[in-house]
Amino acid sequence: MRTVIVTGSREANALARVLPEAVCVDGGSPGEIANATAVIDASHPCERDTHDAVQAVCLRDSIPLLRLRRPEWSAVAGDRWIEVNSAQAAHAALPPTLKRVFLCLSASDRTAFRGDEARWYLIRSRKDDRAREGLADFDLTTQSGPYSAESEAALMRAHRIDTLITRNAGGAGAYPKIAAANALGLRVILLNRPTVTCQTASTVEDATAWLAAL
């Protein structure tokens, strides 16, 4: 059995340790799954393009496909979320009175904010590449985790942030910015995850059980 794991999340790394015989492929190379007998897509929970490409190959070649992604965040007391389904909707949801935005989205999603001359953006990116952003007024932070609510709050205060825009990634690693925004009373615009039509699992244990049942 040739099991392929599409990587891009912490769950993918954990699954690879449990299934050392599996083949791990980058989310940007869906063609490498063509000869698989089973595919577990463990790319980032909010990734849309990778999943669509993987699913297209699996449907074409009749390969069993599972989408593994950790549980999403659920609103609790103190959350002030506006939930939207696209980056374009997130930009449209920005009130004119809010001018300093912490933008924690993928590079492709950030293109929806190009041409906005009314606001200043703080971009969290792993690449210090200002030229590719194309935003009118912004700065970059390439600081990597682990993050804490305190460090995220300090960053937001230092840059006088009034709005956080982020994806519903779920998990503990990315949650500190939500906690920090809550503590500071900031507006949070949250991009919902894309829906999927294949079978899903939320834990590595569930994924290995699915595989064993094939």
**44, 18 in Cβ contact below 8 A?**
no
| Model pLDDT, residue 65 | 97
**How many Å apart are CA 26 and CA 29, to the nearest integer?**
6
> Which residues neighbour 196 within 8 Å (Cβ) at sequence distance 6 or greater?
51, 55, 67
State pTM to two decimals. 0.89
pLDDT in tens, 162-194: 999 999 999 999 999 999 999 999 999 999 999
**How many Å apart are CA 47 and CA 168, to the nearest integer?**
11
Task: Give the pLDDT band (50/70/90) at residue 78.
Answer: confident
The structural domains of the chain, with segments of one domain joined by +, span 3-71+195-213, 81-191
Would the pLDDT of 58 be above 90? Answer: yes
Domain 81-191 maps to which CATH number in 3.40.50.20, 3.40.50.300, 3.50.50.60, 1.10.8.60? 3.40.50.20
